[in-house]
Amino acid sequence: MKIAFFDTKQYDIPYFEKLGEEKNIKFKFYETKLNEDTVALAKGCDGVCIFVNDTVNAEVIDRLCELGVGIIALRCAGYNNVDIKYAKDKITVARVPAYSPYAVAEHTMALLLTSVRRVHKSYIRTRDFNFSLNGLTGFDLHGKTVGVVGTGKIGRVFIDICLGFGMNVIAYDKFPAEGSGINYVELDELFEQSDIISFHCPLTEDTYHMISEETIDRLKKGVVIINTSRGALIDAEALLEGIKERKIGAACLDVYEEEADVFFQDFSDHIIDDDVLARLISMPNVIVTSHQAFLTREALGNIAETTVDNLIAYSKGEKSGNELEF
């Protein structure tokens, strides 16, 4: 098989090259993202492998079909960047539903601890031999109420971590996990009661802008917002206003609504055009990481293995169990 591999990162190549050699799959690595302008690079390939910021709309799907591409292999769990309904009966779409829930859940807790204990600020200070404790006062997580939105594998691992800290956990999910023992509440109740809210749900029409100007009014004053799922779960402009009005006490973001043109790139010598992102990063109570929650050796290995398994199953005319069908 020949696979056009879009939005390639240096950390992708060793894992996919190794498996490709073992399974007789040739990957053509492209740094560019897949979209209407780059889809022609898939010519002569049996499939494409894409990531979270590639664009697979109706036009791209039609062009892939014209080029004889039979499978879109997502090397991630989310699929909001693919027009799944249009793809139905035209092209196979497969994803990696679980690679390492521990990677994302642990990064979520790392962000929370860094924020509430001011670890990032202390690190910067001591590098300058400033050992003052002024302004570094945090708060105990023990006894605080954390609201977890989305109780799939990642959400449940994060819940376990929070329980280990002695936190009170409440959760919301449109499809509650039966027999899990999780304390489910309605979303409004979660917003009103939580000292900390962490998002672990997919991006759908129902979850788009769950944090908005309207819902921020229902939040507890000083709430900490964490998002390691999908950026558009949060209206970034509303979040910024909530922080400025002191309604939101802190925000920890591994994803951002308009991240596609910024994340995974080095802009250290450039001016960022996205004013909202620039203002969020400038806030002393905001931590932004560049969609790295998944980035562990274990997760990268699992992603490559599952993606290759999906491709092999397609080549044999079989189903891997990871196909998306709507």
- pLDDT of 99 reads 87
The yes or no reply on domain 2-99+296-315 and CATH 3.40.50.720 is yes
Give the separation between CA 46 and CA 240, rounded to whole angstroms.
44
Catalytic residues: 230, 259, 291
pLDDT digits (tens, 9 = 90+) for 209-230: 999 999 999 999 999 999 999 9
Does the pLDDT value for residue 17 go beyond 90? yes
**Domains 2-99+296-315 and 101-288 are alike in CATH topology:** yes
Burial tier of 41 (Cβ tally within 10 Å: 0-12, 13-18, 19+)? middle
HEC sequence for the chain? CEEEECCCCCCCHHHHHHHHHHHCCEEEECCCCCCCCCHHHHCCCCEEEECCCCCECHHHHHHHHHCCCCEEEECCCCCCCECHHHHCCCCEEECCCCCCHHHHHHHHHHHHHHHHCCHHHHHHHHHCCCCCCCCCCCCCCCCCEEEEECCCHHHHHHHHHHHHCCCEEEEECCCCCCCCCCCECCHHHHHHHCCEEEECCCCCCCCCCCECHHHHCCCCCCEEEEECCCHHHECHHHHHHHHHCCCEEEEEECCCCCHHHCCCCCCCCCCCCCHHHHHHHHCCCEEECCCCCCCCHHHHHHHHHHHHHHHHHHHCCCCCCCECCC
Is this structure's pTM higher than 0.75?
A: yes
What is 101-288's CATH topology?
Rossmann fold (3.40.50)
pLDDT digits (tens, 9 = 90+) for 229-284: 999 999 999 999 999 999 999 999 999 999 988 998 899 999 999 999 999 999 99
At 78, is the pLDDT very low, low, confident or very high (cuts 50, 70, 90)?
A: confident
Q: Where are the domains of the chain?
A: 2-99+296-315, 101-288
At 325, is the pLDDT very low, low, confident or very high (cuts 50, 70, 90)?
A: confident
Q: What's the chain's Rg over C-alpha atoms? A: 21
- pLDDT of 125 reads 96
Does the pLDDT value for residue 326 go beyond 80? no
Strand partners, 71: 47, 92
Kindly state the percentage of the chain with pLDDT values over 90.
94
